Every structure is written in C-alpha cells, then in structure tokens.
Amino acid sequence: MNIEQAELAATLKEKLDVDIPEGYSEEEIKLMLEKRLGQLLERNPEEFFQLLYRIDIPEGSLDRVLKQEDALTTLAGMVYQRQLQKVKTRLFYKDSQRAQPGDDELLW
C-alpha cells in the first residue's frame, strides 16, 4: 500500500468509520462506501447530510444526485474522489514544505 492509499484508508476510517483492508481496489472501496452511506441515510439522515457537508460535497450536486436511481453509487464515487483529492493535496503541500528550505518558525 503506497502512502496515498494509506492516507486515504486512514481518512475514510476517520470520516466514515470504514475499514479498508490493504490491497482493495478502487471499485471495492467504492462499494464499501456505498454500503456505509446507505446505512447512514437509512439510520440517521441528518448525520448523513452533515457528513457530506463536512466532506465537501456541493449541495447542488447532492440535490441532483439524490434524484437519480443509483444515487448511493454516484455519491460513493463522489466521496471517494473528494477524499482522494484532499489526500493528494495534503501530501503535495507536505512534500513541498520539506523541499523548501526556509524559516522553520513559519511551519505549523
């Protein structure tokens, strides 16, 4: 498992309480996300919508997707892509901070 996949697995565990075993494919992860989102929507719709807001799924997109027949499949893909994008961004800036010598006091 590379660093990007490990970070994604950790993020999905933290945000959605989904355990991603090592070696799972993107499609298998999306199926796990789809199942988890379905559980949340069924058991606690308010928490479901709050979670998607915190993950940063645009409200307009969410409204449009929820009208579709395969809404949970589409949402799982959106959540996967958004979380992957966040992981890549964090890793990029983490690496760029290391690559640039400078004032260590400015680092958080």
pLDDT in tens, 9-20: 999 999 999 999
Q: Where do we find the tokens 């996300």?
A: 33
DSSP symbols for 41-103: HHH-HHHHHHHHHHHT--HHHHHHHHTSTTHHHHHHHHHHHHHHHHHHHHHHHHHHHHHS---
Mean pLDDT of 21-29: 91
- pLDDT value at position 97? 66
Residue 104 amino acid letter: D
Q: Which of 56, 47, 43 is nearest to 11 (CA)?
A: 56
Query: How far is the C-alpha of 103 from the C-alpha of 73, rounded, in Å?
Result: 46
pLDDT tens column, 68-92:
999 999 999 999 999 999 999 999 8
d(Cα 72, Cα 38) in Å, to the nearest integer?
7
With both helix axes pointing from N to C terminus, report the angle between 45-55 and 3-16 in degrees, rounded to the nearest 10: 150
Write out pLDDT tens, residues 35-67.
999 999 999 999 999 999 999 999 999 999 999
Domain parsing of the chain, residue ranges: 3-93
Mean pLDDT to the nearest integer, 87-102: 76
The pLDDT value given to residue 98: 63
- pTM given for the model: 0.83
